[in-house]
Amino acid sequence: MGKHVLLIEDEPNIAEAIRFILERDGWQVSTHADGQDAVRVVREAGPDVLVLDVMLPNRSGFDILRELRADAALSALPVLMLTAKGQSRDREQAEACGVNCFMTKPFSNQEVLATVRALSGG
């Protein structure tokens, strides 16, 4: 069994594309689409890497990331944050929240795969 990625993304086409490229590379991929209970889902899933969208229903990815970083059990979880907005202030806000890597949509499949591999230590 490969390593586990939790993908929190509310756009079905993007979620399916990322799931496909990661599963093809041997990853186990779980998906979730709502920000409201995202932190609970992360705790329960125990992923090796989290791919987190910025704009989610009910709660922003920034708020979710801040809560994860404040939790001792989740503070070191590698997080790749995705956004449709590539403005520098979004990147700065993500970095202030403790993101490991920040990627703007649209992105290349190879870029996502290489980043997830690097975040997992492999």
Span 41-92, pLDDT tens digits: 999 999 999 999 999 999 999 999 999 999 999 999 999 999 987 788 989 9
Cα–Cα distance measured from residue 59 to residue 62, given in angstroms and rounded to the nearest whole number? 8
Domains of the chain with bracketed CATH: 4-106 (3.40.50.2300)
Structure tokens at 77: 């979880």
Cα–Cα distance measured from residue 96 to residue 105, given in angstroms and rounded to the nearest whole number? 20
Report which residue type is found at 120: S
Whether 1 shows a pLDDT value over 60: the answer reads no
Q: For the chain, what is the mean pLDDT?
A: 95
Whether 22 shows a pLDDT value over 50: the answer reads yes
DSSP line for 26-73: T-EEEEE--STTHHHHHHHH--SEEEEESS-TTS-HHHHHHHHHHSTT
Cα–Cα distance measured from residue 100 to residue 20, given in angstroms and rounded to the nearest whole number? 22
